[in-house]
A and B are shown apart, each in its own frame.
Chain A
Amino acid sequence: MMPINRNHSSVAQRDVRIKIVGLGGAGSNALDRILLDGPPAAELVAINTDIQALTGSVAAEKVQIGRATTHGLGAGGDPEVGYAAAEEAGEEIRGAVKGAQMIFLCVGLGGGTGSGAARIVAALAREEGALVIAFATLPFTFEGRRRMTQAEEALVALRREADVVICFENDRMGDAVAPLAGIQEAFTMADQTISQSVRAIAALVQRRGLMHLGFDEIVTALRCPGEIAPRCLFGFGEADGDNRANDALARALKSPLMDKGRLLDGAHNVLVNVAGGPGMTLNEVQILMEELNRHIGDETRILFGAAVDPRLGQKMSVTILSALEATPPATVVTPLRPASRAVAASPVSIPPAPRVSEPAPVVRAGESEAEFVEPPAPRIADVDSDEAVAAPAESDPLRVAASAVKPAPNPKRAEVKQAQMQFEPVTRGRFERSEPTIVDGQDLDVPTFLRRNVKVK
């Protein structure tokens, strides 16, 4: 390690003053979580209409808004009430956010206080000269259409006011939790993700790094122009042990908002911060970055920061932050796999011979995951066109039927990277040559998880 002359006292003065503001119920929960995970080098402020929630919050500073509007009873899920409450308490909010160079605004969108007040809090903070990074959550789909609409509207408004908005979809965070886990764990996971991201960015800014990442770099990485909120990619991983560089990166890529690193390919900027104890070696950093580079496109700009933090001891951590320009929701990568999987599940009526599965997409593609919005037909077109390359047509009448269904193929979709496009013909594998075992109309030689449409990623 190069000996670097550090004058710690002067560095300390460069410490950035950060305030973490929790707005509304979800915001308060996030604050609680942040404190639970270890006191951050920042001040905590809670803002709410609900006086009861406010009293129970762990924040040092509390601001009640909408005293006259709601009489301390909360916004009742109505953003207009939240907005009015924030307008009413404008000066108090301003007082709370004053003096900080960075404001992290944690808010859960969809309800009343958060959705209504977020834009005002952000605007006021900016007026006071702070950099505003908002961490917003979008409700679970099961919470209903109305909440989602309110959340989306609030998000658009917030994006206009805040410097950066990092948005987490609760649905996606549910993926990170084991299927049998209780709902409490699912919500805790959401809070934890926010907590980790807040902590990671605060650390990025605060740490005496070997290579320091400044505000502007962070903002550049995270901001995307345009009305539609960018899809935020955030990953955090920490590991110790022999293989800690790879393990930490692997965990970071596994973060719920990282989509296994697949989408990093399309990002313009990626912000990476690697931190470790004094024993961290250049070699490890290299390993990590090389591995990360495999997931990143050639055009992507990498903003790299590294820091040595004695508190980490044997551990090594990596934080990855990026934003993808928004594309219409239907182009989400994952749903195509149901088609390929469905193709593999040969319906029973077809005699056991390879490559008979073309009809399956017509039948099955309707059962895609929740986020897939568009009708199944176009999928078959894509599937078919690739299939035409991969395998000669086996059953012509079926393909005619399938192609008759397809509308004009959407060119944009074809560009999205698909890992599973070539799919093997089905699927009796080892049992190709043996007599099929038919029970209750099902061929038991076909894998059970296929026949039962069990989601296997």
Chain B
Amino acid sequence: MARDHIVVGLEIGTSKICVVVGETRGDGTIRILGVGHAPSRGVRKGEIVDFETAGKCIREALVDAEEKSDVMIGSVYLGVTGGHIESFNNRGAINIPEERDEICDEDFEEVQASAREVSIPSQNMFVHSILQHYYVDGQDGVLNPIGMLGRKLEADFHIIHGVANRIKNSVRCVKEVGPEVLDVVYNPLAAAQVVLDQNQKALGALVIDMGGGTTDYIVYVDGAVKQSGSLPIGGDHMTNDVSLGLRIPMAKAEKLKVEEGSVLLGESRPGEMIVLKDETGFAGKEVEREMLNTIVHCRARETFELLKRRLDGEDIVPYLGAGIMLTGGCSLLKGIDHLAEDVFGTPAHLTHAHAVAGLTSAFENPQFSTAIGLIKYAEAMRPERPKSLFTRVFRKFSFLWMWF
């Protein structure tokens, strides 16, 4: 009998640390048992800048998760992000040895290795090699070549790499707190697993995860990952802008952004004001709504435009049949989907994690998409699971034994 397996995803975000405890059933379904989170301090733009403080916040989040799910957390899947993470596509090719003409598993390993024979900066390490397409003897559209006859096997991979030390920092930080890190997953990849279904991946979609410190994105075209990356701009920047623009402290700016923020211009009456209540409940400062919206709008638009420029090189937008999916904390801003549509010229939708059972409130919150996605990813990587295309897609190169 397949034992129900506990899987924990940990995301060290800039605004919050999030731990999701899930249970994967033998049949492959996932159930969320509990979500723990804690405010994050010591993390900026997705990267740890204060080791100790971050560690404390991680501990807080873990304890919260353990209480809520009634599970002792021994190991986690860690999500990473940061502007330093880059990706590119590369094709690997091998010739099947003369003695046999059937393609088998080892060939897959080799072609993957061949694809990674690309120079990345010396300080970087590979995080993922994601399979995109196979070609057998030049024929494309091959879904699973194992067992097929052929002379030459080629495969396109989407390769994600980042600065080794920064990634290792995050891992170390978690290990100092306690749990083991079973694997490191790139955040938008995790988010996409629960935000997109197979159909949307096939049609083509862009997932934008707008978090506190970074805006992560990943593009699927024809069911395969085409592009991914992170912009080191996020909700924090927006709050900072608001704080500086309206001359209010950060905490108030954050609250204001969350409660009243909107990226739509020209929607409020001229001179309409928002009253900021101070701690005693009395009306404190007044700010003009249009000013707030303008500040937030500028930043959001710039972020999207930067993202568009990154994608434009590949002329991606026409291939996004399912459009754009927005998730993450900043996707809660009013009108953000309209702004995205305006900048990219293609329909945009607000989404959150789906296709998991359990705590509804947890996965309907777009801020938890990534953490929940980690569970889905983990589920796919379980060793007991029969090797499937899915597993191969996410096969990471031997990462773990770097730590021991």
**Given A178-B290, A179-B266, are A445 and B295 neighbors across the interface (CB < 8 Å)?**
no
Q: Are A448 and B299 in contact (CB under 8 A)?
A: yes
How long is the Cα–Cα vector from A344 to B240 in the complex, in angstroms? 14
Question: What bracket does the count of chain B residues touching chain A fall in?
Answer: 35 or more
A178 partner, pick from B83, B233, B266, beta carbons under 8 A: B266
Which residues of chain B in 267-308 are interfacial with respect to chain A, using CB atoms and an 8 Å cutoff? 267-271, 273, 286, 288, 290-291, 294-295, 298-299, 301-302, 306
Q: Which residues of A have CB within 8 Å of B209?
A: none
1/0 per residue A249-261: CB within 8 Å of B?
0110010000000
B233 partner, pick from A175, A437, A450, beta carbons under 8 A: A437
**Given A180-B266, A250-B273, A427-B244, are A447 and B299 neighbors across the interface (CB < 8 Å)?**
yes
Q: Are B294 and A454 in contact (CB under 8 A)?
A: yes
1/0 per residue B18-31: CB within 8 Å of A?
00000000000000
Instruction: Judge if B16 is at the interface, Cβ distance under 8 Å.
Output: no
Which residues of chain B in 14-48 are interfacial with respect to chain A, using CB atoms and an 8 Å cutoff? 44-45
Which residues of chain B in 174-215 are interfacial with respect to chain A, using CB atoms and an 8 Å cutoff? none
Q: Which residues of B have CB within 8 Å of A429?
A: 240, 243-244, 250
**Given A179-B266, A254-B271, A456-B295, are A437 and B83 neighbors across the interface (CB < 8 Å)?**
yes
Chain A interfacial residues counted at CB < 8 A: 31
**Given A179-B265, A433-B49, A448-B302, are A457 and B288 neighbors across the interface (CB < 8 Å)?**
yes
Which residues of chain B in 221-242 are interfacial with respect to chain A, using CB atoms and an 8 Å cutoff? 232-233, 236-237, 239-241
Q: Which residues of B have CB within 8 Å of A450?
A: 244-245
Nearest-CB residue, chain A, relative to B286:
A250
Q: Are B306 and A180 in contact (CB under 8 A)?
A: no
Nearest-CB residue, chain B, relative to A434:
B44
Which residues of chain A in 17-47 are interfacial with respect to chain B, using CB atoms and an 8 Å cutoff? none
Q: Are A439 and B306 in contact (CB under 8 A)?
A: yes
Q: Are A430 and B239 in contact (CB under 8 A)?
A: yes
B271 partner, pick from A251, A434, A447, A449, beta carbons under 8 A: A251
1/0 per residue A228-270: CB within 8 Å of B?
0000000000000000000000110010000000000000000
Instruction: Judge if A431 is at the interface, Cβ distance under 8 Å.
Output: yes
Which residues of chain A in 378-433 are interfacial with respect to chain B, using CB atoms and an 8 Å cutoff? 424, 427-431, 433
How long is the Cα–Cα vector from A4 to B233 in the complex, in angstroms? 67
How long is the Cα–Cα vector from A447 to B290 in the complex, in angstroms? 17
**Given A179-B265, A448-B298, A456-B291, are A431 and B44 neighbors across the interface (CB < 8 Å)?**
yes
Instruction: Judge if A6 is at the interface, Cβ distance under 8 Å.
Output: no
With both chains docked as a complex, state the minimum distance between the C-beta of A424 and any C-beta of chain B, in angstroms. Answer: 8
With both chains docked as a complex, state the minimum distance between the C-beta of A345 and any C-beta of chain B, in angstroms. Answer: 11
Instruction: Judge if A452 is at the interface, Cβ distance under 8 Å.
Output: yes
Q: Are A430 and B236 in contact (CB under 8 A)?
A: yes
How long is the Cα–Cα vector from A344 to B236 in the complex, in angstroms? 19
A449 partner, pick from B44, B268, B288, B295, beta carbons under 8 A: B295
How long is the Cα–Cα vector from A179 to B273 in the complex, in angstroms? 17
How long is the Cα–Cα vector from A181 to B268 in the complex, in angstroms? 11
How long is the Cα–Cα vector from A437 to B298 in the complex, in angstroms? 17
Q: Which residues of B have CB within 8 Å of A156?
A: none
Q: Which residues of A have CB within 8 Å of B247?
A: 424
Q: Which residues of B have CB within 8 Å of A250?
A: 271, 273, 286
Which residues of chain A in 166-186 are interfacial with respect to chain B, using CB atoms and an 8 Å cutoff? 175-181
**Given A178-B270, A251-B271, A437-B45, are A447 and B288 neighbors across the interface (CB < 8 Å)?**
no
Most buried by B among A176, A437, A447, A450: A447
With both chains docked as a complex, state the minimum distance between the C-beta of B213 and any C-beta of chain A, in angstroms. Answer: 10
How long is the Cα–Cα vector from A289 to B59 in the complex, in angstroms? 55
Nearest-CB residue, chain A, relative to B292:
A456
How long is the Cα–Cα vector from A177 to B266 in the complex, in angstroms? 9
Instruction: Judge if A444 is at the interface, Cβ distance under 8 Å.
Output: yes
Nearest-CB residue, chain B, relative to A258:
B271
With both chains docked as a complex, state the minimum distance between the C-beta of A443 and any C-beta of chain B, in angstroms. Answer: 11
Q: Are A447 and B244 in contact (CB under 8 A)?
A: yes
How long is the Cα–Cα vector from A452 to B240 in the complex, in angstroms? 16
Q: Which residues of B have CB within 8 Å of A445?
A: 237, 240
With both chains docked as a complex, state the minimum distance between the C-beta of A357 and any C-beta of chain B, in angstroms. Answer: 13
Q: Are B49 and A434 in contact (CB under 8 A)?
A: yes
Q: Which residues of B have CB within 8 Å of A424?
A: 244, 247
Q: Are B241 and A449 in contact (CB under 8 A)?
A: yes
Q: Which residues of A have CB within 8 Å of B241?
A: 447-449
Q: Which residues of A have CB within 8 Å of B290?
A: 178
Q: Which residues of B have CB within 8 Å of A444?
A: 232-233, 237, 302, 306
How long is the Cα–Cα vector from A447 to B302 in the complex, in angstroms? 10
With both chains docked as a complex, state the minimum distance between the C-beta of B71 and any C-beta of chain A, in angstroms. Answer: 35
Q: Are A430 and B240 in contact (CB under 8 A)?
A: yes
How long is the Cα–Cα vector from A390 to B269 in the complex, in angstroms? 36
Q: Which residues of B have CB within 8 Å of A177?
A: 270
How long is the Cα–Cα vector from A456 to B243 in the complex, in angstroms? 13
With both chains docked as a complex, state the minimum distance between the C-beta of B204 and any C-beta of chain A, in angstroms. Answer: 26
Q: Which residues of B have CB within 8 Å of A254?
A: 270-271, 273
Q: Which residues of A have CB within 8 Å of B269?
A: 178
Q: Are B266 and A447 in contact (CB under 8 A)?
A: no
How long is the Cα–Cα vector from A444 to B45 in the complex, in angstroms? 12
Q: Are A430 and B83 in contact (CB under 8 A)?
A: no
With both chains docked as a complex, state the minimum distance between the C-beta of B103 and any C-beta of chain A, in angstroms. Answer: 44
Most buried by B among A430, A431, A434: A430
How long is the Cα–Cα vector from A424 to B273 in the complex, in angstroms? 24
How long is the Cα–Cα vector from A449 to B271 in the complex, in angstroms? 19
Q: Which residues of A have CB within 8 Å of B44?
A: 430-431, 434
Q: Which residues of B have CB within 8 Å of A428?
A: 240
1/0 per residue B238-259: CB within 8 Å of A?
0111011101001000000000
**Given A427-B244, A430-B250, are A181 and B294 neighbors across the interface (CB < 8 Å)?**
no
Which residues of chain B in 59-98 are interfacial with respect to chain A, using CB atoms and an 8 Å cutoff? 83
A181 partner, pick from B236, B266, B273, beta carbons under 8 A: B266
Q: Are B232 and A437 in contact (CB under 8 A)?
A: yes
Q: Are A447 and B306 in contact (CB under 8 A)?
A: no
How long is the Cα–Cα vector from A429 to B242 in the complex, in angstroms? 10
With both chains docked as a complex, state the minimum distance between the C-beta of B46 and any C-beta of chain A, in angstroms. Answer: 11
**Given A429-B243, A448-B241, are A454 and B298 neighbors across the interface (CB < 8 Å)?**
yes
Q: Are A456 and B294 in contact (CB under 8 A)?
A: yes
With both chains docked as a complex, state the minimum distance between the C-beta of A352 and any C-beta of chain B, in angstroms. Answer: 14
How long is the Cα–Cα vector from A175 to B240 in the complex, in angstroms? 27
How long is the Cα–Cα vector from A274 to B298 in the complex, in angstroms? 40
Most buried by A among B49, B250, B298: B298
Q: Which residues of A have CB within 8 Å of B288?
A: 457
With both chains docked as a complex, state the minimum distance between the C-beta of A172 and any C-beta of chain B, in angstroms. Answer: 12
Q: Are B270 and A449 in contact (CB under 8 A)?
A: no
With both chains docked as a complex, state the minimum distance between the C-beta of B79 and any C-beta of chain A, in angstroms. Answer: 20
How long is the Cα–Cα vector from A448 to B296 in the complex, in angstroms? 9
Q: Which residues of B have CB within 8 Å of A452?
A: 298, 302
How long is the Cα–Cα vector from A403 to B298 in the complex, in angstroms? 34
How long is the Cα–Cα vector from A447 to B306 in the complex, in angstroms? 15
With both chains docked as a complex, state the minimum distance between the C-beta of A306 and any C-beta of chain B, in angstroms. Answer: 24
With both chains docked as a complex, state the minimum distance between the C-beta of B229 and any C-beta of chain A, in angstroms. Answer: 13
A176 partner, pick from B265, B271, B295, B298, beta carbons under 8 A: B271
Most buried by B among A177, A250, A424, A449: A449
How long is the Cα–Cα vector from A429 to B270 in the complex, in angstroms? 29
Q: Which residues of A have CB within 8 Å of B270?
A: 175-178, 254
Q: What 10 additional pairs, Cβ within 8 angstroms, besides A178-B268, A434-B44, A444-B237?
A: A175-B270, A254-B273, A427-B244, A429-B240, A431-B44, A434-B45, A437-B45, A447-B299, A448-B299, A450-B245
Task: List 18 A-B pairs, Cβ < 8 Å.
Answer: A176-B270, A178-B268, A178-B270, A179-B266, A424-B247, A430-B44, A434-B49, A437-B45, A439-B306, A444-B232, A445-B237, A445-B240, A447-B240, A447-B298, A449-B245, A449-B294, A449-B299, A452-B298
Q: Give me the 4 closest cross-chain CB pairs, A-B, nearest first.
A: A254-B271, A180-B266, A447-B241, A448-B298
